Structure 1
Amino acid sequence: MNILEKINNNMSNFTVGERLVAEYAIQYPVDVVRYSAEALAEHCNTSRSNVVRLCKKLGYTGFSEFKYEMNRYMNTPHAITKKHLNEEEGDSLSAFRKYLNCFSQLETLYNSSQLKQIAEIILRSKRIIILGHYHSFFSAQQLEFRLNRCRIDAHAINDLSTTEAFGEMLTQEDTVIIFSISGGKVYHDSVCTFRKRGVKVILISMTENSPISRYTDIKVILPCITRLYDESVMDDAPTFYFFIELLIEEINHQILANNDVSDNS
């Protein structure tokens, strides 16, 4: 019996909080491998204690052993899903086609008014704060760097206490951009504060009905490659980076258009 079958067979023994972890682990086993117990609990909208209790009910000494067993399962041949791929392709070509398929799903976004709207908001903003937690902070830093290269003042933050401090400083002239695969509740209190102060909040996520999405002004949902293919070796950061480049291109387009208008007036 593999670990996913074990979880399914014990579903009736779990509490409500433990069941949230169990259902999430079955749907997104790669997240169990990628995250700490605290991060997994956040993604499941429950507590760390529920994660640990689930592991022990399944017969593991704790989360570390549970995570190890999930990783072992994910790296066995039967666990790999081959979607849209030829079984005879090599590993590098397989990875290339997976990312290509993932990026192609952004075409609709690129041709939509949503990207233009985000660019307009950024260009009108007095201050831009970019939030990222754990691995998502690298994407926040990348957007900070790309905006700075466009001579747009922006600051990436991953410290929650600093985020809370900005909650008392930002106004309706400012914008907060959040990178979060799950759109987790870690930002809930801060986002509520931003909304009360009229701050524009833009969420860049990979989860459709995330906990904080209802408090945001704009929600962008990107494809999640680790969920498309259920493979721990893939990384979602390139999708965030690809989106950033699309956004920067639109920002530059609007800057050039505004300059042309100014020159002709």
Structure 2
Amino acid sequence: MNQGTTPVLSELRFNSANMTPKLRKIAQFINQHPVEVTTMSVDELAASANISVATIYRFCRELGYQTFSQLKLAIAKEISVENALKSDAETGAGKDDTHRFPDYLKGLEATRDLLELKEIDKVADLIVSARRIIIVAVGASSVAATFMHYKLMRAGLMSHRPTDMHLATMLASNVDERDMIIAFSASGGTRDIIDVLKIGKRAKASIVSITGRRRNAVADLSSHHLLAVASDSPITSGSGLSVISQISVADTIYETLYWRDAGVRKRIDLATDSVIYKHI
């Protein structure tokens, strides 16, 4: 197996001529867009390179990787090493600990521009009318999911935020068309989330997902899909940008609920009054 021995990009540059035409097409695309590929799902790469998903999996196996995720990780590590070497070679460049802030601002602006307000309105309607709301996430996306749960509870809306995915699965097994599931997943490809959503979809529950990509398995299972811009690669998974973008979408939903529903506003005011005395 090739993993961890030969740099992936170097191998693709020098050996792509020996590949079949379809595999060579993938190699050329990766060489031209290595950074972009590390943040793509297998479906996105297939669409971008105009190649079938099955061919991409065959390409991975040809290189000695069992999954596309393993290949992406190898590419991301290689890029990370190259960038580190370039950084070390630079002279007189002081370290700026605030360098991520411009990325956060750009990500928030992109998330704002990609939000479809009609979809936000539909999601708000579903939340208000739902008998029960289950919010699921794993990893760093759990931060945004917990924030969403906090906001809904503040609005007097009964939601569940299981942190154990076995418990989430049990809750999902008891939903019906009166219930809804809200899923946060930057990649849109987390197996635990997908399994829960499949159960919910079979039961005809409404499913809302907030992911970082237009095309992914979580989005495909959802009745409503919202984008929260993420630049995660396998190495930067769980980045601050992903979490901040997800929280901004959650807060937009909350603000929509507040201004559109008098009952929600009243409950929020009551919740505020109930805790205000705790402030010194």
TM-score normalised per structure 1: 0.66
Report the count of equivalent residues: 231
Pair member with larger Rg: 2
2:219 maps to what in 1? 213
Do the aligned partners of residues 135 and 53 (structure 1) sit closer, same or farther apart at CA in structure 2, a change above 3 Å counting?
farther
Amino acid at match of 2:84: N
Cα offset, 1:77, TM superposition = 3.7
Deviates more, 1:172-181 or 1:155-164: 155-164
2:108 corresponds, among 103, 106, 121, to 103
1:240 corresponds, among 217, 235, 246, to 246
Instruction: Map 1:24-173; keep pairs closer than 5 Å.
Output: 26-27=34-35, 71-77=80-86, 91=96, 94-109=99-114, 112-173=117-178
1:139/1:179 contact within 8 Å kept: yes
Do the aligned partners of residues 210 and 158 (structure 1) sit closer, same or farther apart at CA in structure 2, a change above 3 Å counting?
farther
Residue deviations 1:128-155 (CA, integer Å, cap 9, x gap): 1111022212221121112212222212
Cα distance between partner residues in 2 of 1:232 and 1:75: 15
Cα distance between partner residues in 2 of 1:27 and 1:141: 31
- The alignment partner of 2:100 has SS state of helix
Residue deviations 1:161-215 (CA, integer Å, cap 9, x gap): 2222123211111110010112115133432221221200011101111023222
Amino acid at match of 1:148: M
Cα distance between partner residues in 2 of 1:134 and 1:207: 17
1:29/1:70 contact within 8 Å kept: no
Q: Which portions of structure 1, spanning 4 or more consecutive aligned residues, are displaced by more than 6 angstroms? A: 29-32, 43-46, 52-57, 257-260
Cα distance between partner residues in 2 of 1:99 and 1:196: 37
Cα offset, 1:72, TM superposition = 2.8
- The alignment partner of 1:225 has SS state of coil
Do the aligned partners of residues 185 and 98 (structure 1) sit closer, same or farther apart at CA in structure 2, a change above 3 Å counting?
closer
1:99/1:225 contact within 8 Å kept: no
2:111/2:227 contact within 8 Å kept: no
| Identity across matched positions, percent | 14
Cα distance between partner residues in 1 of 2:154 and 2:264: 18
2:115/2:226 contact within 8 Å kept: no
- The alignment partner of 1:130 has SS state of strand
Deviates more, 1:123-132 or 1:92-101: 92-101
RMSD after superposition? 4.4
Do the aligned partners of residues 95 and 159 (structure 1) sit closer, same or farther apart at CA in structure 2, a change above 3 Å counting?
same
1:176 maps to what in 2? 181
Residue deviations 1:9-62 (CA, integer Å, cap 9, x gap): 56659xx9xx89x96x94457669xxxxxxx99x9999xxx9x988967xxxx9
Do the aligned partners of residues 259 and 141 (structure 1) sit closer, same or farther apart at CA in structure 2, a change above 3 Å counting?
closer
- The alignment partner of 1:75 has SS state of helix
Cα distance between partner residues in 2 of 1:28 and 1:162: 35
TM-score normalised per structure 2: 0.63
1:194 maps to what in 2? 200
- The alignment partner of 1:203 has SS state of strand
Amino acid at match of 2:139: Y
Which blocks of at least 5 consecutive residues in structure 2 are unaligned? 1-5, 46-52, 88-92, 267-280
